[in-house]
């Protein structure tokens, strides 16, 4: 079975631009969560989506938004990019909304110049 997939793998953007990251969960999983990981730190929670609805939001500015589609895939959008947005963006898939095991995709490495 395929695991969590994310695209693109790497991305280089300029300050002020907008970016869209994509994620497809494990087949049968209905929840997708997004995390940001900067070097030397653990992943920081951005959003959780379950059944196409936002179920949780971390301490990130409104420049960050996301959505989940009927096939449970998800997109994370970041507007007005800042240098500090450079990080590894991780998508995690789980069966349901609660405290189930979360499985990460390979991540998207975003560099903002």
Partner 1 sequence: QKEVEQNSGPLSVPEGAIASLNCTYSDRGSQSFFWYRQYSGKSPELIMFIYSNGDKEDGRFTAQLNKASQYVSLLIRDSQPSDSATYLCAFWGGGGNKLTFGTGTQLKVEL
Tokens of 84: 């500090």
List 1, 2, 10, 41, residue binding partner 1 (CB under 8 A): 41
CB of 105 to partner 1, least distance (A): 6
For 84, phi and psi rounded to 5 degrees?
-70, -5
Rounded (5°) CA angle 24-86-11? 55
The DSSP secondary-structure symbol of 26 reads P
Indicate the residue among 1 and 16 with the shorter CB distance to partner 1. 1
Indicate the residue among 60 and 73 with the shorter CB distance to partner 1. 60
Tokens of 5: 């997939």
Contact residues for partner 1, defined by CB under 8 A: 33, 35, 40-45, 48, 50, 55-58, 88, 90, 92, 97-99, 101-107
């Amino acid at each position: 079975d395929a695991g969590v997939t994310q695209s693109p793998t790497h991305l280089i953007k300029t300050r002020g631009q907008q970016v869209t990251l994509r994620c497809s969960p494990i087949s049968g999983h209905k929840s997708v969560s997004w995390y940001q990981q900067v070097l030397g730190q653990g992943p920081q929670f951005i959003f959780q989506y379950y059944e196409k609805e936002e179920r949780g939001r971390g301490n990130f500015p409104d420049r960050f938004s996301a959505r989940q589609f009927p096939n449970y895939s998800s997109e994370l959008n970041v507007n007005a990019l800042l240098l500090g947005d450079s990080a590894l963006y991780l998508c995690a898939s789980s069966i349901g909304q609660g405290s189930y095991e979360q499985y990460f995709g390979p991540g998207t490495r975003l560099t903002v110049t």
